[in-house]
Amino acid sequence: MSGLSNRYSLDGQASGRRGRLNIRVWFALLIVGTIPVGALGEACKQLSFSSTINSNGADSHPLAPNLRFRLTSMKDEWGWVISISPNDSENDWTAPVTFPIRNNEQQTMGSGYGSTVQDKMTHPNVVQFVRTPSEFTRYSRLANEALSSPQTDAARNFIKEDARLRKSRATVEALKYELGDTKETVKWMTFKVSVTVPKSFQSLDPSWIAVPCPERER
pTM metric for this prediction: 0.80
79: left (phi > 0), else alpha (psi -120 to 50), else beta? Answer: left
- 18-41: pLDDT as tens digits: 444 444 444 445 444 433 323 445
Nearest C-alpha neighbor of 129 from the set 158, 88, 157, 101: 101
* CB-based contact 44:212 (threshold 8 Å): yes
Q: Is 120 exposed, middle or buried (0-12, 13-18, 19+ CB in 10 A)?
A: buried
Per-residue pLDDT of 127-182, as tens digits, reads 999 999 999 999 999 999 998 888 888 888 998 998 888 889 999 999 999 999 99
If you ran DSSP here, which 8-state letter would residue 135 be given? H
Give the whole-angstrom CA distance, residue 109 versus residue 125: 7
Please state, in angstroms and as integers, the Cα–Cα distance from residue 181 to each residue in 120, 186, 187, following that order.
17, 8, 9
